[in-house]
A and B are shown apart, each in its own frame.
Chain A
Amino acid sequence: EAQVTQNPRYLITVTGKKLTVTCSQNMNHEYMSWYRQDPGLGLRQIYYSMNVEVTDKGDVPEGYKVSRKEKRNFPLILESPSPNQTSLYFCASSLGSGGADTQYFGPGTRLTVL
């Protein structure tokens, strides 16, 4: 089954404790992206990657890191999480043709930073 998977689905942590949220896709997609979703603010793009070793900032990249060492994986790293990073996070992937490709979303990771 074609899908985007994220782990963990739920995470409660404390301020300053480094964490990684994993994202993997099995559709051989070039483009992968991370979003956060907050009430009243909608989905906001954090980082995206057009290909292996190629990443770029979205609209809200501060406090996050990403890496793309393999085509299928795109982990999101919070090196020193703060309470304002409490949010619902989604990973997405698409063909990456350079055109307006459909994004396919993962199930989400609900992160709480105390």
Chain B
Amino acid sequence: EDQVTQSPEALRLQEGESSSLNCSYTVSGLRGLFWYRQDPGKGPEFLFTLYSAGEEKEKERLKATLTKKESFLHITAPKPEDSATYLCAVQPTTSGTYKYIFGTGTRLKVLA
């Protein structure tokens, strides 16, 4: 069964304290892996798409990496405005379907 697991569930960091969020996935084949940011009461906002193992993408203080079994979202020197829930999703290559499967997210709180 296709599955996505994110860890930790919640993370508190001091401003400037770098860390990583993990997204482990089990799929028969991977069409793509996505990272989203979600602020309370709002829709998810797209961050990155990764397609194959070894791929990396960066945006400001965020860097996403991908292996055959997991993805990491590295946050370098975070600021309070980086506080949000970070969601990981995969699109498996299951024949004839175009589903997206989301993890339950990591709630990040960055303290000033």
Contact = CB atoms under 8 A, between A and B. Distances in A.
B1 to A, nearest CB: 10
A99 B100 contact: no
Nearest to A105: B43
B34 A108 contact: no
Given A99-B31, A102-B46, A42 B103 contact: yes
B51 A100 contact: yes
Given A43-B87, A100-B91, A108 B43 contact: yes
B31 A103 contact: no
Contacts of A48: 98-99
B102 A42 contact: yes
Contacts of B22: none
A94 to B, nearest CB: 9
A12 interface: no
B44 A58 contact: no
B49 interface: yes
Interface residues of A, number: 28
Contacts of B89: 43
Contacts of B44: 43, 90, 105
B7 interface: no
Given A42-B105, A90-B44, A102 B34 contact: yes
Interface string B43-82: 1111001010000000000000000000000000000000
A98 B43 CA distance: 23
A65 interface: no
B97 interface: yes
Closest 9 CB pairs of A and B: A100-B32, A105-B43, A42-B104, A43-B102, A100-B31, A105-B44, A42-B102, A100-B91, A102-B46
Interface of B: 31-34, 36, 41-46, 49, 51, 87, 89, 91, 97-105
Given A45-B99, A45-B100, 16 more contacts: A31-B98, A42-B104, A43-B44, A44-B102, A48-B98, A56-B97, A59-B99, A96-B98, A100-B32, A100-B91, A102-B34, A103-B100, A105-B36, A105-B45, A106-B43, A108-B41
